[in-house]
Amino acid sequence: MFVWLLLFVGAALAIMNFHEDVSMRLVHIRLYEMITGKTVEHPYLLQIPYSFGLGFGMILFFNHVFKKRLNEEPSPLEVEMFKYQLDLDHYVALNENKETLKDIHDR
């Protein structure tokens, strides 16, 4: 749960920094102006659903709603952990015995 929470917060910070870099607030203001013809400083009609959509998208991406899985597919973290474990097992198998490693290179 701690890892999931840490990743969720990290992803949220990354998204917030991206939004600041691309001036997402100004994009929402301009989009609201194009749709309604009115200029407002805080287009909550766009910002609130957009924020909920981002949060929901992150939950779907990490494939967990707390302890309940949304489907049987592994989460991106589980895939990366599996790949790391395979790499680690491969490394240990090759470096367990220097003679074995030498024999592999001699072939």
Question: Side chain identity at 9, as an amino acid letter?
Answer: V
Question: What's the pLDDT at 38?
Answer: 93
Same domain, 11 and 59: yes
What is the pTM assigned to this prediction? 0.53
| 80-83-85 Cα angle (round to 5) | 110
Q: How far apart are CA 4 and CA 77, in angstroms?
A: 9
Question: What's the pLDDT at 102?
Answer: 66
Same domain, 18 and 41: yes
Same domain, 54 and 5: yes
Same domain, 17 and 1: yes
Same domain, 47 and 81: no
Q: In the chain, which residues have pLDDT < 50? A: none
Same domain, 40 and 90: no
Question: What's the pLDDT at 36?
Answer: 93
Same domain, 79 and 96: yes
Range of the domain at 78: 74-107
| DSSP helix/strand/coil, 38 | coil
Tens-digit pLDDT profile for residues 41-59: 999 999 999 989 988 887 7
